[in-house]
């Protein structure tokens, strides 16, 4: 079968869907086709919550509704080859699809470490496939003990969710001395450590998994400290690599494992091929170095730029490079990070000034539901602008980190932040006299 | 008695306290004295919550701790006269206090309408005096029915709080056709209307209170529609006027009722006298017209500028004029507004483009605790920048409005907002594909 679309999107994750919908909105006369290899996918960031928070794992499905609503055709076929000269894509079924503009949103695959026993039953990489994950959820729920490898966001969120299920012992093993340490400075990652410990999760840091033991199925795990831990299931939460096979074959790959090269408008070296999301290479906002950031929020931001700019440059990209803005939630505790951490900034050679604030997120603090709040801002001493920020506390911190994110993207100064006008309310925020971003910016200003 | 301070601050509310503390931080060698006429004051925005949310009204006291911690002397005396030539202030006790720099933070007083019966017992203006408010709380709790005059923030928050006390019928009377309409467009103020109605508050809009009836004590209220409502207590929530008597006497007042004139650095026409907070005149960020905004958050922002710039201009004020940024909370519903509303902008002659987004604040929306969320952004068609925004929904909206506030203060474009990098998380925010500020900015961008 041969078919032709004006815009062909490969990938059915958030980057693919948002690219297609944005393209339709900016170019309503173009016909748009989205091709995906997984018929029933999942909302990526919702996967840990299929274990306990969601009553039914199906609630986390990645539906086609926004595509159907926007009159975008969907085919479930695996793309196997791009022909740049003919401008067509061949699929595993042998069909070819022509395009004017091609958007690669092929995503990423979980890293499978080179570890003896890693292929045994009961060892789970996190594939974003509904059928696979439903079986996974069932198996985890029937386990007596689960070991999670990797103390990044995914690992921490799995550990938290599984600890809500009664009767399951949870271990979290991290090679580095602390968890979440790529995104937070120690004093913030410690909040997560304490929270997980209080929930009964056994944290094992600075330790490597040497081998997964058992017959067909995992029975225990051998650690670098010599311990052998009996477990029924192992979750691999050590990250992902860009899925760039299609792109490598036609010389669009940046460097193995670092994604597809794109310019600021998500164009590859081929003017008719764009790449967005996990499969596209990322650079840091400040250092301009390669940044291994794979987030649906980054992916969708890129997808909006690509979708709008397929035929004309309609949306100017002002915020270049990723600010690696994250938030996570552990049993009531919100942790957020944006831009550079203090340790990352120092490692890169920035001369920094730190401002901190601690307080309570209602005023007076005796109002029901009040939480402690901690904010840290990192500034460049010479440039005088904000490089990064971290927050810890209650629910409103999810948007407090986004406010810091805007400040970073607008390269705001300490003076601008310390004179910022903010809305405060007894039930909703710290007191206006103690608003944490302002207090932290004042501390920076005094040290300048 | 005669005494001299380097910096004399008159006023013990948030503006006074923050001025004094900031001055000490920027000029540690100066001795700073704060004079206040009310010995035991209250956190202004916490006053409604003394009725029900706080177990003990004393929890809302405005303490001296930050002053003591910063080695700032406090005297409880009422300033009665300024002598600009001699640079001294006389008090009701006949004492005089000399100064190098004087900061007026004299605040505001509740408006007492010219209404027959307004002086009867049981009619309560909201004075920020602990003793008075403790009696007020006691009387309200013993009432069978309470009528609140004024459907602005204060009135709405009182109505909500009193409705939490069992056995009290609450009436809220507003002259305008809708409540909260100075800060919100109708579709947002309707959320507040519905919420209050669902709590049993009887809303009477487009109606005037003609007379307060009763012998010594209020017994009923006569409305402009002819109705007579029996009530035990009446709360006056119709606003406040700047307390500028001291300033009027020495020709520093802007215009009666509009506060003390100041420049961008909170300096009055007298180079050694500053004014901050409710007593200082406010202008709108966009229109540059007089803006009747009295908020602790605005007051403290001004206080930080004044305190830092007393002897040298250390903090450059970049955000000129008030963006009138507010949030309020009604039984789980957060409403926030910043900048111009659509109706205000149109009234002022702006050619606007509106972008809206509606959704749910978790993803998937079936996660526990999810709320609906609605965001509206107002842009200038020609200038291409954001003029205002409104939000309604769950707790994180308190910082979402502050994020919009940063965008307004940094005069961001729709393109910048639609390509914004934000942190999203299943438990904490809308999906990255549906993040409401981005979706609303995209809608604006397509209409440009």
For A368-411, the pLDDT digits (tens) are 999 999 999 999 999 999 999 999 999 889 999 999 999 999 99
Predicted pLDDT of residue A314 = 87
B138 token code pair: 């006691």
Is A329 in Cβ contact with B398 (below 8 Å)? no
Question: Which residues in B lie closer than 8 A to residue A360 (C-beta atoms)?
Answer: none
Q: What is the DSSP letter of B85?
A: T
Predicted pLDDT of residue A130 = 95
For B297, nearest residue in chain A (alpha carbons) = A432
Is B429 in Cβ contact with A422 (below 8 Å)? no
Nearest to A301 among B26, B394, B419 (CB): B419
The CATH 3.50.50.60 domain(s) of chain A lie at 2-109+241-308, 123-237
Pairing relationship of beta strands B73-76 and B32-36 according to DSSP bridges = parallel
Nearest to B432 among A14, A25, A442 (CB): A14
Interface of B with A in 87-106 (CB under 8 A): none
Cα distance between residue B24 and residue A397, in whole Å: 30
Asked whether the beta carbons of A145 and A230 are under 8 A apart, the reply is yes
Q: Of A79, A57, A65, nearest to A141 (Cα)?
A: A57
Does B317 lie at the interface with A, CB-CB under 8 angstroms? Answer: yes
Contacts of A108 (CB under 8 A, 6+ apart): A240, A241, A242, A243, A278, A279, A294
Q: How near does any CA of chain A get to the CA of B224, in Å?
A: 33
Predicted pLDDT of residue B320 = 79
Taking the CA atoms of A234, A237, A238 and A241 in sequence, report the sign of the dihedral they define. Answer: positive
DSSP bridge partners of B34 = B9, B74
Pairing relationship of beta strands A7-10 and A32-36 according to DSSP bridges = parallel
Asked whether the beta carbons of A22 and A39 are under 8 A apart, the reply is no
Fold of A332-447: Enolase-like; domain 1 (3.30.390)
Say yes or no: domain B2-109+241-308 is CATH 3.50.50.60. yes
Q: How near does any CA of chain A get to the CA of B428, in Å?
A: 6
For B390, nearest residue in chain A (alpha carbons) = A423
Mean pLDDT of A57-75: 93
Is B421 in Cβ contact with A325 (below 8 Å)? yes
Is B397 in Cβ contact with A432 (below 8 Å)? no
- How do residues A197-251 score in pLDDT, each as one tens digit? 999 999 999 999 999 999 999 999 999 999 999 999 999 999 999 999 999 888 8
Predicted pLDDT of residue B256 = 66
Q: How near does any CA of chain B get to the CA of A302, in Å?
A: 8
Predicted pLDDT of residue B1 = 87
Nearest to A425 among B318, B327, B432 (CB): B327
Contacts of A41 (CB under 8 A, 6+ apart): A12, A13, A61, A62, A128, A129, A130
DSSP bridge partners of B360 = B372
Cα distance between residue A242 and residue A292, in whole Å: 10
Is A421 in Cβ contact with B297 (below 8 Å)? yes
Predicted pLDDT of residue B331 = 93
Does A430 lie at the interface with B, CB-CB under 8 angstroms? Answer: no
A369 backbone dihedrals φ, ψ, rounded to 5°: 85, 10
Predicted pLDDT of residue B448 = 87
Cα distance between residue A138 and residue A51, in whole Å: 9
Is 80 exceeded by the pLDDT of residue A255?
A: no
- How do residues A97-146 score in pLDDT, each as one tens digit? 999 999 999 999 999 999 999 999 999 999 999 999 999 999 999 999 99
Question: Which residues in B lie closer than 8 A to residue A403 (C-beta atoms)?
Answer: 399, 402-403, 406
**How far is C-alpha A51 from the geometric centre of its chain's CA atoms?**
19
For A364, nearest residue in chain B (alpha carbons) = B60
The CATH 3.30.390.30 domain(s) of chain B lie at 332-447
Q: Which CATH architecture has domain B123-238?
A: 3-Layer(bba) Sandwich (3.50)
Residue found by looking up tokens 């990797």 in the block: A150
Does B371 lie at the interface with A, CB-CB under 8 angstroms? Answer: no
Question: Which residues in A lie closer than 8 A to residue B294 (C-beta atoms)?
Answer: none
Predicted pLDDT of residue A254 = 74
Q: How near does any CA of chain B get to the CA of A183, in Å?
A: 13
Fold of A123-237: FAD/NAD(P)-binding domain (3.50.50)
Is B419 in Cβ contact with A319 (below 8 Å)? yes
Residue found by looking up tokens 């109605």 in the block: B197
Is A368 in Cβ contact with B428 (below 8 Å)? no
Asked whether the beta carbons of B308 and B26 are under 8 A apart, the reply is yes
Residue found by looking up tokens 């306990």 in the block: A52
- The residue count for chain B: 448
Predicted pLDDT of residue A438 = 96
Asked whether the beta carbons of B289 and B254 are under 8 A apart, the reply is no
Predicted pLDDT of residue B319 = 61
Predicted pLDDT of residue A251 = 87
Predicted pLDDT of residue A257 = 74
Per the prediction, chain A carries an average pLDDT of: 95
Is B398 in Cβ contact with A396 (below 8 Å)? yes
Nearest to A428 among B327, B367, B416 (CB): B327
Interface of B with A in 56-75 (CB under 8 A): 59-60, 66
Q: What angle do CA B258, B259, B260 make, to 5 degrees?
A: 135
- The residue count for chain A: 448
Cα distance between residue A133 and residue A136, in whole Å: 5
For chain B, list residues with pLDDT below 70: 256, 318-319
Burial of B343 (0-12, 13-18, 19+ CB in 10 A): middle
Prediction ipTM score: 0.93
Asked whether the beta carbons of A75 and A10 are under 8 A apart, the reply is no
Predicted pLDDT of residue A383 = 94
Is A338 in Cβ contact with B423 (below 8 Å)? yes
Question: Which residues in B lie closer than 8 A to residue A62 (C-beta atoms)?
Answer: none
Predicted pLDDT of residue B318 = 67
Test the A interface: residue of B27, B357, B433 with most A CBs within 10 Å: B433
Q: What angle do CA A8, A10, A11 make, to 5 degrees?
A: 140
DSSP string of B333-394, one letter each residue: EEEEEEE--HHHHHHTT--EEEEEEEEESSSSTTSTT--EEEEEEEEETTT-BEEEEEEEES
Does A309 lie at the interface with B, CB-CB under 8 angstroms? Answer: no
The CATH 3.50.50.60 domain(s) of chain B lie at 2-109+241-308, 123-238
Predicted pLDDT of residue A315 = 86
Q: Of B446, B425, B416, nearest to B437 (Cα)?
A: B416
Does B55 lie at the interface with A, CB-CB under 8 angstroms? Answer: yes
Is 70 exceeded by the pLDDT of residue A256?
A: no
Q: Of A368, A370, A362, nearest to B53 (Cα)?
A: A368
Cα distance between residue B379 and residue B286, in whole Å: 12
Predicted pLDDT of residue A338 = 97
Test the B interface: residue of A427, A429, A442 with most B CBs within 10 Å: A427
CB atoms closer than 10 angstroms to residue B204 = 19
For B438, nearest residue in chain A (alpha carbons) = A301
């Amino acid at each position: 079968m041969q078919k032709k679309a004006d815009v062909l999107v490969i990938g059915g994750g958030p980057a693919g869907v948002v690219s297609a919908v944005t393209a339709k909105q900016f170019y309503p006369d173009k016909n748009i086709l989205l091709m995906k290899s997984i018929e029933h996918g999942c909302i990526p960031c919702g996967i840990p919550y299929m274990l306990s928070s969601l009553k039914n794992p199906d609630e986390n499905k990645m539906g086609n509704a926004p595509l159907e609503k926007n009159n975008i055709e969907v085919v479930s076929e695996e793309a196997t080859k791009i022909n740049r000269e003919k401008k067509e894509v061949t699929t595993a079924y042998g069909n070819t699809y022509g395009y004017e503009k091609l958007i690669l949103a092929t995503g990423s695959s979980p890293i499978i470490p080179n570890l003896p026993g890693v292929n045994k039953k009961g060892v789970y990489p996190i594939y974003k496939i509904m059928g696979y994950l439903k079986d996974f959820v069932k198996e985890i729920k029937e386990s007596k003990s689960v070991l999670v490898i990797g103390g990044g966001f995914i690992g921490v969120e799995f550990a938290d969710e599984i600890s809500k299920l009664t009767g399951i012992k949870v271990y979290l093993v991290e090679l580095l001395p602390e968890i979440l340490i790529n995104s937070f400075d120690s004093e913030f990652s410690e909040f997560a450590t304490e929270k997980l410990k209080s929930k009964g999760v056994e944290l094992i840091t600075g330790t490597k998994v040497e081998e997964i033991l058992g017959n067909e199925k995992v029975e225990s795990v051998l650690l670098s400290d010599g311990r052998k831990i009996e477990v029924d299931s192992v979750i691999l939460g050590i990250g992902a690599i860009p899925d760039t096979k299609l792109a490598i074959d036609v010389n669009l790959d940046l460097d193995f494992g670092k994604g597809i090269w794109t310019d600021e408008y998500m164009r590859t070296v081929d003017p008719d091929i764009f790449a967005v999301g996990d499969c596209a290479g990322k650079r840091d906002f400040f250092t301009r170095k390669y940044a291994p950031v794979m987030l649906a929020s980054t992916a969708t931001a890129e997808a909006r730029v690509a979708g709008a700019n397929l035929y004309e440059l309609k949306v100017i990209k002002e915020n270049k490079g990723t600010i690696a803005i994250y938030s996570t939630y552990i049993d009531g505790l919100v942790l957020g990070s944006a831009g550079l951490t203090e340790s990352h900034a120092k490692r890169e050679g920035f001369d920094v000034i730190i401002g901190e604030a601690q307080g309570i997120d209602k005023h007076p603090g005796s109002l029901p539901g009040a939480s402690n709040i901690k904010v840290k801002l990192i500034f460049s001493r010479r440039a005088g602008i904000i490089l990064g920020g971290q927050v810890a506390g209650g629910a409103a911190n999810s948007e407090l980190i986004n406010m810091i994110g805007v400040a970073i993207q607008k390269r705001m100064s300490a003076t601008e932040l310390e004179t910022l006008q903010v809305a405060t309310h007894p039930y909703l925020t710290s007191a206006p006299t103690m608003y944490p971003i302002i207090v932290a910016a004042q501390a920076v200003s005094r040290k300048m």
